Chains A and B, each alone.
Chain A
Amino acid sequence: MSSELIIAWIYASPLSTAIRDMFWVVPTVQSVHIVAIAVIFGAAVISDLRLAGVFATDEPMGGVVRRYYPWMRAALIVLLLSGLVMVIGEPDRVLVNTTFWLKMFLVVAVFTLTWLVRRPLLRTVDPASSDDEKPPIRVLAWLSIVLWCVVIFCGRWIAY
């Protein structure tokens, strides 16, 4: 099945038609999407700045990461679901958009990075464990903040 057929099939589905017909669905879902962006980006910046050694350095790294990571995971689920509604509503516009696919690639990349950097800290519950920021972690934390900003730019540019 070619991609055009898939797009045409999604477009003609009752769900896609319903999303387009109810004028309030898209702006409401987009508002939910932005609130979830705020949660994931806020939690990412706070915990990444702690990992980079510039924020709340008197608090143990593991404690800060464990506090914010569940919020990032929950926000990611909300973002994927609200994003899916937008894709189903306008598959003919979104699924052929290069910026959309770049954004999807970057989301996978930055969340994998987020998870890999935090995984060792999420596992240890020992507050006395060695806690100083090692140089690669610092660089990766800054990289993750930059990548989230690029993701937000891509998201806005999909519309153009």
Chain B
Amino acid sequence: MDIQSILQALEDTTVAARIRESGSIFPNLESVHVIGIALVFGTIAVVDLRLLGIASHRRSALRLIQELLPYTWVAFAACVVTGLLMFASNATTYAQNSVFWWKMGLLLLAGLNMAIFHLGAYRRIDEWDTILPPPGQARVAGFCSLALWACVIGLGRWIGFV
């Protein structure tokens, strides 16, 4: 089974057809997607700014990350679910949209940036937990994360304009 027929099969599912035919499901999915984006970017930005050396509501970087990350993940999960449903409703069209793939690529890079941080500076966080500004490696991770997520949002908006 080639990719094209998989996409077609996805588009032919009952769920995808329901979304396409209903006038209200798609805008509601978009709204939940935006609320999810706002929480993902909102909470991640607080951590990223702390990594850049801008003080947050608490001194400890570790506790800040541990306290905000659950919100980030729940919101990200909501974005993935609503995103998948919107994609399914017009899978073959989205698959031809280059901006969509740029967005997916940058999402991957944002994940990679997070992984590098967790395997690097985060492992030594007890050395810089309450120090402002944090070490260079953490600041680079914070800056890249802010830039990548802002671009993901921008590209997401551009999908509908090409």
Residue ranges of A at the interface with B (Cβ–Cβ < 8 Å): 23, 26-28, 30-31, 34-35, 37-39, 41-43, 45-46, 50, 55-56, 59, 63-64, 67-68, 149, 152-153, 155-157, 159-160
B31 located at the interface, meaning its Cβ lies under 8 Å from any Cβ of chain A in the complex: yes
Min CB distance A36 to B, Å, is 10
Majority SS at the chain A contact face: helix
Q: With contacts A30-B157, A35-B153, A41-B38 known, is A68 near B57, CB below 8 A?
A: yes
Q: How far, in whole Å, are A160 and B38 apart by their CA atoms in the complex?
A: 21
**Cross-chain contact B58 with A156 (CB below 8 angstroms):** no
Min CB distance A127 to B, Å, is 13
Partner of A159, one of B23, B27, B40, B46: B27
Q: How far, in whole Å, are A35 and B37 apart by their CA atoms in the complex?
A: 9
Residue ranges of B at the interface with A (Cβ–Cβ < 8 Å): 23, 27-28, 30-31, 34-35, 37-43, 45-46, 55-58, 67-68, 71, 150, 153-154, 156-158, 160-161
Q: With contacts A31-B154, A38-B153 known, is A67 near B57, CB below 8 A?
A: yes
Task: Give chain A residues whose Cβ lies under 8 Å from the Cβ of B154.
Answer: 28, 31, 35
Q: How far, in whole Å, are A68 and B42 apart by their CA atoms in the complex?
A: 11
Min CB distance A144 to B, Å, is 14
**Cross-chain contact B150 with A67 (CB below 8 angstroms):** no
Residue of B nearest to A41 (CB): B38
Q: How far, in whole Å, are A38 and B79 apart by their CA atoms in the complex?
A: 13
**Cross-chain contact B39 with A45 (CB below 8 angstroms):** yes
Q: With contacts A31-B157, A56-B57 known, is A149 near B35, CB below 8 A?
A: yes
Min CB distance B19 to A, Å, is 14
**Cross-chain contact A38 with B37 (CB below 8 angstroms):** yes
Q: With contacts A27-B161, A45-B42 known, is A34 near B37, CB below 8 A?
A: yes
Task: Give chain A residues whose Cβ lies under 8 Å from the Cβ of B161.
Answer: 23, 26-27
Task: Give chain B residues whose Cβ lies under 8 Å from the Cβ of A68.
Answer: 57
Q: How far, in whole Å, are A31 and B91 apart by their CA atoms in the complex?
A: 23
Q: With contacts A27-B161, A31-B158 known, is A42 near B153, CB below 8 A?
A: no
Task: Give chain A residues whose Cβ lies under 8 Å from the Cβ of B67.
Answer: 55-56
Task: Give chain A residues whose Cβ lies under 8 Å from the Cβ of B39.
Answer: 38, 41-42, 45
